[in-house]
Amino acid sequence: MLRILFICFILIFLPRNIYCGPFGVDMGDTKEKFKDLTPYSEPGIEGENFKTSFMPKRHSLFEHYILTFGSSGLARIICLSSIINDDSYGLVAVNKYNTLKNQLTKKYGAPETKEFLQPGSIWKQPNEFATSIQKKERVHFSQWSNIEKDNISTISLAIISQGYNSLAVGLEYKFNNFKDLEIQKTKNEEEAL
């Protein structure tokens, strides 16, 4: 009996962030959990967007995070790596992408991956990797769906262009409550007509 009470006591009073999802946060967390939130404008999505460099748990690849809050709290996290300049071959970006992909696969299972160059692209030489991303003729993208942990609906990982021969790695977590924001956006657009 004492053993059961002790286990219950431990489970109740353990720090909450031991059970947290990505970056030490959970779906529905409130803005008050975060420090130094700066309003961030993103057209096309309902909810409030904020930029921060503070997260309870950090990943060395990311400096800034964009958080989307709806009426039910935190609904989305977007992370962008620092800009990788002079990476025409994409070697640094692909290495960072693969590192993240492997880390995420260990935690969430195998993703659906699309890594290809469009047929007929003129940007097919190895030193044209960054240009082919910029011209939207190359895709380097992985997505995890139907995740059964951490209240996450999807995780998306991609190499994205940041200008001529400049790349970055982007990561997005959408929590299960993000669909509420999408529903609200549709409703607002329908009412606007």
In a 3-state reduction of DSSP, which class is residue 49? strand
Q: What confidence score (pLDDT) does residue 44 get?
A: 60
Predicted confidence (pLDDT) at residue 3 exceeds the cutoff of 60: no
**Domain range enclosing 188:** 22-192
14 falls within a domain? no
9 falls within a domain? no
163 falls within a domain? yes
Q: What confidence score (pLDDT) does residue 189 get?
A: 83
- Tell me if 52 sits within 8 A of 38, measured CB to CB: yes
Q: What confidence score (pLDDT) does residue 43 get?
A: 65
Predicted confidence (pLDDT) at residue 45 exceeds the cutoff of 70: no
- State the Cα–Cα distance between residues 68 and 42, nearest whole angstrom: 10
**Count of structural domains, the chain:** 1
Task: Give pTM, 2 decimals.
Answer: 0.85
pLDDT in tens, 184-193: 888 888 888 8
pLDDT in tens, 122-173: 999 999 999 999 999 999 999 999 888 899 999 999 999 998 889 999 999 9
3 falls within a domain? no
CATH code at position 179: 3.40.1000
Query: Encoding tokens for residue 169?
Result: 């790695």
